[in-house]
Amino acid sequence: MASHALADLVTESALEELAGDRYFERGLAYFRHSAVSRLRAGEKEISARVRGTRPYAVRLWLDRRELRWDCTCPLGRDGEFCKHLVATGLAWLAGGEDDADRGPSELQTIRAYLDAADKQTLVDLLVERASEDDDFAGQLLLSAQRTGHAAPGALKETIRKAFSVSGFVDYGEMRSFAARATPIPELLQECLKQGDARTAAQLSAEAMKRGVKALEHSDDSDGLLGSVLSDIAAVHLAAAKKGGLLPADLARSLFDLQAEDSFGFFSLEPYLPALGKEGLAAYRKLATAVWKNIPALEPGARASGDAGRRYEIAGIMKTLARIDGDVDAMVEVLQRDLSQPYAYVEIAQTLSKARRHDEALKWAEEGRRAFPNDLNFPLEDFLVAEYHRRKRHDDAIALRWARFSKHPSLRDYQQLKQAADKAKAWKDWREKALSALRPAQVQAAKPRRLGDWAEPKSAVLIQIFLWEGAPKAALVEARATGCPLHLWLEIARALEKESAADAIAIYQEQIDAVVARTHDHAYDEATKLVQRVRDLLASAGRSADFAPWLSALRTRHKAKRNFIKRLDRVAMEEAAGQGIRKP
């Protein structure tokens, strides 16, 4: 029978293995303190309520002879076998397998009472419970809504309660907070299904305003509340499409929602059919009235007042210009805020798409003059592309060189090469770039250890050599100046085919630096390097060198037991003849 299969899978040892020592001990404490209630066991399922920070619903069930589980606590939601599951399993085990002689269960007793009660008694019980439990009240209201008994005032009160907050809603509280709001979209959809598009539009707007304010003061990292609000916004759009509001009223509703929405739940385009010409004109009038009071910002200036409000209305004006296909209107909106370099990029890109290239170049060059000390990638990329389009390759190279010489990096070196290749001048520029990275005077070299930090320019030079496929040159530079640990590994990997002996030497010295971090992830990384040394030695016909080196490594790190265990496994592989693999 299935119950016997459950008994085979739900044992004390199985619970301890699934939960681990920590959660098993906590679950045992919950069980001993009688935190488990409403325990029910069927042929294929065990369920219960467990009192924790709040009551949690717990289930364990049989699925094709495998045990599955679920708990409404945060850990359980993530699929972990939590302490509440442990407590439930232990409570079931304590109750035994045969419940035949235990008499009616708690719920069976309650059902028998309700079956015998008169209608008024049931009504009084439900109303009393609804007055104390907002979630339960919401469920009843939804049922009433489906049968045409709910009133807009009741729905509005439910919305108010669902999004009511006092203080910040942190991550741990968000799941229960979002659960309160979850029925709202369905309530509004029912309103719409019953043909009351106006009420659906008005109440969904009310719900969104309250919901967005709650979202602004909460940690919704999992997107639970955001998902509910997206569903409510969809109801507002659906109600608008069904003519729930007159065009002018819809324009006001949408504009007000967008003005308060910093999360992007609303945009103008989907509402255009519902707005029509009359609604769009009303919407434009509202937006223009606010926009004219937004002051212009010069380069480097900071916005005063409500920066969020400024951002929202600017987005609305951009959308209107895009709908109209009016390039000049778009430029006028963009140039209202020139406080950041990217504003010039947007203007230049807008004009370039309209094939107004001279104006686009003028704006881009003005942006570079306005922010001479800001290294702005999009602005420079636009200018370089435009210079190349005009065959002004020297100007493009000059821009790339200015950045490389000020803040050298592999990326800037690559972009300098791309620009110089256009002019077939890379050979000279490459030598100039490499010279800029080398010190004016090379001091008498003293050997550098593998972990020694390099000057930034030296590290960039090593990255360049590796990118160009010259690992030997990278090794010479690293030996002379030192380099970060991750670059040593890159050099070793690049040298494996060209110079296995150098690669082996790097890996062998790198291992000590990695082990010194003294945690399991570091030991795993070091073990992989040990295996790499083993395989390279085997490939080079030097397998005999591995055992004495491994022995010396064990001696140096004998105090690190977890690392030694890993080395033991490597030694066993070697002894079993499993360790030789082609690099």
Predicted local confidence at residue 98, as pLDDT: 45
* Eight-class DSSP state of 579: -
The separation between the first and the last C-alpha atoms of the chain, rounded to the nearest angstrom, is: 54
**Cα 57 to Cα 483: distance, rounded to the nearest angstrom:** 55
Contact 359, 385 (CB under 8 A): no
3-state secondary structure of 294: coil
**How is residue 458 written in tokens?**
């030296």
Q: How wide is the angle at C-alpha 575 spanned by C-alphas 570 and 577, nearest 5°?
A: 95
**Amino acid at site 28:** L
Taking the CB of residue 543, how many other CB atoms lie within 10 A of it?
15
Contact 33, 86 (CB under 8 A): no
Contact 359, 396 (CB under 8 A): no
Predicted local confidence at residue 114, as pLDDT: 85
**Cα 191 to Cα 183: distance, rounded to the nearest angstrom:** 13
Q: Which of 322, 261, 255 is nearest to 290 (CA)?
A: 255
Predicted local confidence at residue 158, as pLDDT: 86
**How is residue 404 written in tokens?**
């490389």
pTM passes above 0.75: no
Contact 496, 516 (CB under 8 A): no
Contact 413, 433 (CB under 8 A): yes
Domain assignments of the chain as residue spans, ordered by start: 2-98, 144-245, 508-583
**Cα 362 to Cα 1: distance, rounded to the nearest angstrom:** 82
| Bridge pairing between strands 66-71 and 45-51 | unpaired
Predicted local confidence at residue 328, as pLDDT: 97
**Cα 71 to Cα 77: distance, rounded to the nearest angstrom:** 6
Predicted local confidence at residue 3, as pLDDT: 46
Phi then psi dihedrals of residue 297, to 5 deg: -115, 125
* Eight-class DSSP state of 337: B
Predicted local confidence at residue 117, as pLDDT: 85
Q: What is the arrangement of strands in the sheet containing 45-51, beginning at the earlier edge strand?
A: 36-41, 45-51, 55-63, 66-71
Work out the burial of residue 86: count CB atoms within 10 Å of its CB; fewer than 13 is exposed, 13-18 middle, 19 or more buried. Answer: buried
**Cα 333 to Cα 353: distance, rounded to the nearest angstrom:** 17
Work out the burial of residue 514: count CB atoms within 10 Å of its CB; fewer than 13 is exposed, 13-18 middle, 19 or more buried. Answer: buried
* Eight-class DSSP state of 559: T
Mean pLDDT by 10 residues, the chain (583 residues): 68 92 92 90 89 87 89 84 95 67 63 85 83 70 64 83 89 86 90 90 96 94 94 96 94 94 94 96 96 93 79 94 96 96 96 97 96 87 97 96 93 97 96 89 48 70 96 94 90 94 93 87 92 93 92 91 89 65 44
Burial 468-499 (b: 16+ CB within 10 A, else e): eeebebbbebbebbbbbeebbbbbbbbbbeee
Question: Hunting for tokens 């108010």 — which residue is that?
Answer: 160
**How is residue 142 written in tokens?**
């939804």
In angstroms, what CA-CA distances link 301 with 124, 361, 443?
A: 64, 23, 47
| Bridge pairing between strands 66-71 and 36-41 | unpaired
**Amino acid at site 371:** F
**Amino acid at site 323:** I
In angstroms, what CA-CA distances link 467 with 90, 106, 411, 476?
A: 60, 72, 10, 15
**Cα 409 to Cα 464: distance, rounded to the nearest angstrom:** 9
Predicted local confidence at residue 579, as pLDDT: 45
Predicted local confidence at residue 4, as pLDDT: 54
**Amino acid at site 338:** L
Burial 2-28 (b: 16+ CB within 10 A, else e): eeeebeebbeeeebbebbeeebbebbb
Predicted local confidence at residue 65, as pLDDT: 82
* Eight-class DSSP state of 296: P
- How large is the C-alpha radius of gyration of the chain? 35
* Three-class DSSP labels, 410-459: HHHHHHHHHHHHHCCCHHHHHHHHHHHHCCCCCCCCCCCCCCCCCCHHHH
68 pairs with which residues across the strands? 61
3-state secondary structure of 509: helix
